[in-house]
Chain A
């Protein structure tokens, strides 16, 4: 065991390098998945919260957290799952939203619970910036994405769903 003291801040830095496997441009910190870090010597407790309950990326993210924290010298790593308050796409940071847009995935609208309305609001096409777009399917290639179509550039695109 190394003598260097590992701070919670250091753990947050490491967590910020672990990216969502489906959307590799954003980290689990920017997504609001990592919620709390408690460090006590070589022991750390990381509390995470799932995005969609059935998201198959969660087991992978848990493995990554253990692996990456072990690599900086932490030995006892406990991952807790908290469901309360439930994750919402409103927690995705502004920086992550612009990264999503650059990645070609329209970011979710901030909705404060009115999902049906948010889903149908004019969505800006991440390819050409037009708002002349329509919802094609509220379900998409992953649980967190909906399919939209841009009438201006005639391309389909995905948007992170409001949740």
Chain B
């Protein structure tokens, strides 16, 4: 591999890992607080799955691209060194926002994985195949809740619509290309089209209005984040940073 390819793959892997890591953290904020016991269990599971997927991507960065160890990447980087889309750093919000964000992200993962599985770099292809079946459970779950809450009551509809209006421009930011990754960048419009074809009929079925005029909120892939990420990291990294950097978590 030449240097340009390395830069591209490193950028791709950080975008994949950081998305999963931060969404996993936000999902874990429902542990002990979810509106139903079943959902407490479900979101704790989903959080753990997303963390596991983040670990797979960070491990590839560490083992094949000479990047620091996964714990070091998770606990010792500042906000501007993260390459996640801003969607996953937004506060957990109410239950409607949690469901809408998870649904938009799960559908993105599925569309994205369809390409990653044949992206031409074997370690990424293998990892994408590995997580595909786990992701079926996530999408099945979040989609079910979108359909259930979209037209259940006046309040649930209002909350779901407000959540969609807030999440949608940030969700469009998922399709911002990682810096220097032209191969992924070139595929992202196609991946976005597949994502839209998957989510829009479901949202319409749930009686929600797609914010058609919204423009993407980008910057996340390049390290430009909302203030929420720094706040999240202060909380997430606090305990690890009380220890020596080489401590194992």
Distance between Cα atoms of A102 and B140 in the complex (Å) = 30
Chain B, residue nearest A114 (CB): B136
- Asked whether, in the complex, the Cβ of B49 is within 8 Å of the Cβ of A52, the reply is yes
Q: Which of A136, A139, A161, A163 has the most CB of B within 10 A?
A: A139
- What are 8 contact pairs spanning A and B, CB under 8 A? A53-B49, A53-B131, A54-B51, A83-B127, A86-B133, A139-B38, A140-B45, A143-B52
Minimum distance in angstroms from A32 CB to a CB of chain B: 14
User: In the complex, which of the residues B46, B53, B133 contacts A139, with contact meaning CB atoms closer than 8 Å?
Assistant: B46
- Asked whether, in the complex, the Cβ of A140 is within 8 Å of the Cβ of B41, the reply is yes
In chain B, positions 15-48 with a C-beta closer than 8 Å to chain A are 38, 41-42, 44-46, 48
Distance between Cα atoms of A138 and B50 in the complex (Å) = 16
Chain A residues within 8 Å of B141, by CB: 138-139
Minimum distance in angstroms from A155 CB to a CB of chain B: 17
Chain A, residue nearest B42 (CB): A139
In chain A, positions 124-153 with a C-beta closer than 8 Å to chain B are 136-141, 143, 147
Interface string of A22-60 (1 = CB under 8 A from B): 000000000000000000000000000010111110000
- Asked whether, in the complex, the Cβ of B52 is within 8 Å of the Cβ of A55, the reply is yes
Chain A residues within 8 Å of B50, by CB: 54
Distance between Cα atoms of A54 and B44 in the complex (Å) = 12
Interface string of B113-136 (1 = CB under 8 A from A): 000000000100111011111101
- Asked whether, in the complex, the Cβ of B133 is within 8 Å of the Cβ of A163, the reply is yes
Interface string of A53-80 (1 = CB under 8 A from B): 1111000000000000000000000000
- Asked whether, in the complex, the Cβ of A137 is within 8 Å of the Cβ of B49, the reply is no
Contacts A53-B49, A53-B56, A137-B42 given; does A116 touch B129 at CB 8 Å: no
Minimum distance in angstroms from A126 CB to a CB of chain B: 20
A122 in the interface (beta carbon within 8 A): no
Chain B interface size, under 10 / 10 to 19 / 20 to 34 / 35 or more: 20 to 34
- Asked whether, in the complex, the Cβ of B133 is within 8 Å of the Cβ of A143, the reply is no
- Asked whether, in the complex, the Cβ of B129 is within 8 Å of the Cβ of A83, the reply is yes
User: In the complex, which of the residues B41, B48, B129, B132 contacts A84, with contact meaning CB atoms closer than 8 Å?
Assistant: B129
Chain A residues within 8 Å of B42, by CB: 137-139
Minimum distance in angstroms from B141 CB to a CB of chain A: 6
- Asked whether, in the complex, the Cβ of A54 is within 8 Å of the Cβ of B126, the reply is no
- Asked whether, in the complex, the Cβ of B38 is within 8 Å of the Cβ of A163, the reply is no
- Asked whether, in the complex, the Cβ of B45 is within 8 Å of the Cβ of A139, the reply is yes
Chain A residues within 8 Å of B126, by CB: 83-84, 86
Distance between Cα atoms of A52 and B137 in the complex (Å) = 12
Chain A, residue nearest B37 (CB): A137
Chain B residues within 8 Å of A140, by CB: 41, 45
Task: Given contact pairs A83-B127, A143-B52, enumerate 18 new A-B contacts (beta carbons under 8 Å).
Answer: A52-B49, A52-B52, A53-B52, A53-B53, A54-B48, A54-B51, A54-B52, A83-B56, A86-B130, A113-B133, A138-B140, A138-B141, A139-B38, A139-B41, A139-B42, A139-B141, A140-B45, A163-B133
Distance between Cα atoms of A54 and B51 in the complex (Å) = 6
Minimum distance in angstroms from A16 CB to a CB of chain B: 24
Distance between Cα atoms of A88 and B133 in the complex (Å) = 9
- Asked whether, in the complex, the Cβ of A137 is within 8 Å of the Cβ of B133, the reply is no
Minimum distance in angstroms from B30 CB to a CB of chain A: 12
- Asked whether, in the complex, the Cβ of A52 is within 8 Å of the Cβ of B140, the reply is no
In chain A, positions 88-126 with a C-beta closer than 8 Å to chain B are 88, 113, 115-116
- Asked whether, in the complex, the Cβ of A137 is within 8 Å of the Cβ of B55, the reply is no
Chain A residues within 8 Å of B132, by CB: 86
Chain B residues within 8 Å of A137, by CB: 38, 41-42
Distance between Cα atoms of A141 and B244 in the complex (Å) = 33
User: In the complex, which of the residues B41, B53, B129 contacts A86, with contact meaning CB atoms closer than 8 Å?
Assistant: B129
Closest 10 CB pairs of A and B: A54-B52, A53-B52, A139-B45, A84-B126, A139-B42, A83-B126, A86-B130, A54-B48, A83-B130, A137-B38
Chain B residues within 8 Å of A53, by CB: 49, 52-53, 55-56, 130-131, 134
